[in-house]
Every structure is written in structure tokens, then in C-alpha cells.
Amino acid sequence: MRGDKPGGSLPINFRGPLSASPHPRVTASFLLPPKSRYNAVMRFTKMHGIGNCYLYVNCFAEQVKDAAALARAMSDRNTGVGSDGLILIQPSTTADCRMEMYNMDGSRGQMCGNAIRCVAKYVYDRGLSHSNPMRIETDAGLRSLDLTIVEGKVTHARVDMGQPRLRPEDLPVVLSAEQMTDYPIEVLGRPARMTCVSMGNPHAVIHGVGLADLTPRRLEEEGRRIECHPIFPERTNVHFVEVRSPREIAMLPWERGSGATAACGSGACAAVVAGALTGRNDRAVTVHLPGGRLAIEWRPSDDHVYMTGPAAEIFTGDWPD
């Protein structure tokens, strides 16, 4: 990355050994011009859950004035840092912390399964809380996470994602039906089926489309068309699912406000629920996404969906305020 002007790409000085991972765990420090040119700088950390990457700001120590504008500026992959959105880690009166989520386009998101694992890692690794299980407040409600700790650091987390909601008004979706299950639609000019599930945020799960037929251009066309369809007044996340076996599925996500991403944790939960409802897969399933795998279980004992996956830190840097 090059550039030495405010608003352009800022040079990065990487410190620490690079690993063979596509997401090396290194520390980066943004080399800023003298502070006299800026009122302040804001510290952020880039993290990812199987490639679903967000920028995390510790609001125990930092103040963010216009989070929507900041999300758009920082998430831009040409002129910013590059990410799927912005996560603010805030104090909470009811949990260990609060997660406030902004998509790449600056719109608010209620919940992100991959991001909440990274929030737990950030909070635990930096000593803001050592609760295990850890409770995190979100716009979709409280979520509890069981953390896997290795040498004092969080590597994985199992998230209680709560009960799936299936009524059209819970998404919302403007159709007169008790549930939006196996609804006939057309994708790529061929018949397909759509099941709508809320995991605290809306998801449209599409079966009947070969993932090999979804080139990046076609994924964008079909994902955006369904995301912004008038039956979804608040838009929706869209997931194209291919069933490999009753305990294994593959999925291509298109996220509301962010577009194609490497993974969507809440979407993986919705996909397993949709497949179980329609008899396509079991309740305990491995979900394969472009960025990696998640283990999802929809338990009949409490009707809650549990998601298990990794959380990793990429680098930390400073952003001119």
C-alpha cells in the first residue's frame, strides 16, 4: 500500500515474522505524518473468522463520532484498510461487552456470527474480561460463547446463536404465509427454492442452484437482485447452498450491505436450519464456505443453534481521526 496524503492509502510497516497462513498474525503500524497534521489517531485491529474480516475498535478506550461514515471509509479496499465492515466493542451494563456492527456500506447489522467470535477473542486476549463463558450484547440480543483457550489466547469459540425465527414478520418479508419455506423462485433462469430464516438478522437460503454455475459476476447479479427485492423491505442476506450429504453442505454467501464475502456465520446457521426444515440435511452439519469450515448444530433440546469456529487477529494499526 502506498500514499502519503490524508484520505489516501497509508503505508504500513509490518513488524514480526510472517507466517504461511493467508492471514498472517502480524502487527502493523500505520506510519502517519506528524501529529500536528491530525487532531488524533484511532487504534483499530483487523481480525477474521474464516476469512470474514472486520475492523474492530475498542470503545472502552476510543470514541467514534460517525460510525457509518467511518465504516465506509475504512472498509474501502482501494482507499481504506479493506474489510467487510466495522465492529465497535463497547461497554455493556448487561454483559461482558457490547458489539455494534456496521456493514461495508455503512448500514447497521444486527448480528454477525464470525465477528462475535473475534470480539470475544479481542476482549479475552486483551484482558477486558476473562469470563468463560463470555456474554456479549448485540442488537439481536445477548449471546453466550464458550471459549477455547490455548496458551492464554482464544483460538475458537462456540456461540449460542439462539432460536431461529421463521415467521415472515421476523425477517421481515412481505408475503402472506406462516413460514417462508421452500418458496419457488427463479435463479439463473432456472427454478430454485428459497427458505427464509432470521438468526437475529434476515437470511434467504437458496437451494437448487449449482455453485459451480455461480461465477463472481453471476453471484453478484443474483445476490444483489434477491437482497434488494421488494419483498424484503429491510433487504436480506442471501446464501446459495449445495447439499453434499446429510451432514455436509457448501455455501456461497452474499451479505446485505457488504456483497460477496468469504464466510457468513449467521448465514451458515440459517442454511442448516433451512435444510433441516426441508429434509435436505441433518441438524448437526459441517458447512463449507470459501474461507473455511464451521460446525453448526440445531439442538432439538432447546431449539437453539450453536456455531463453532476459529477467530484470528491479522494486524493492529492507527487511523487518522
Quick check: 27 pLDDT over 50? no
Assign residue 294 a region (left: φ > 0; alpha: ψ between -120 and 50; beta: otherwise). Answer: beta
* CATH class assigned to 12-162+310-320: alpha beta
Helices 113-125, 265-277: axis angle to 10 degrees equals 140
pLDDT digits (tens, 9 = 90+) for 264-310: 999 999 999 999 999 999 999 999 999 999 999 999 999 999 999 99
Q: Which CATH superfamily is domain 168-303 in?
A: Diaminopimelate Epimerase; Chain A, domain 1 (3.10.310.10)
Give CA–CA dist 306/192, Å, rounded.
27
What are the catalytic residues? 112, 264
Confidence band for 179, pLDDT divided at 50, 70 and 90 = confident
Q: Mean of the per-residue pLDDT values for the chain?
A: 89
Q: How many C-beta atoms lie closer than 10 Å to residue 247's C-beta?
A: 12
In this prediction, residues 193-202 reach a mean pLDDT of: 96
pLDDT higher than 50, residue 22? no
DSSP string, 265-308: HHHHHHHHHHHHHTTSS-SEEEEEETTEEEEEEE-TTT--EEEE
Same fold, 12-162+310-320 and 168-303: yes
pTM comes to 0.86
pLDDT bin (cut points 50, 70, 90) of residue 33 is: very low
Q: Identity (one letter) of the amino acid at 38?
A: Y
Domain ranges of the chain: 12-162+310-320, 168-303
The Cα 206–Cα 187 span in angstroms is 9
Which pLDDT score, from 0 to 100, does residue 44 have? 98
d(CA 315, CA 140): 28
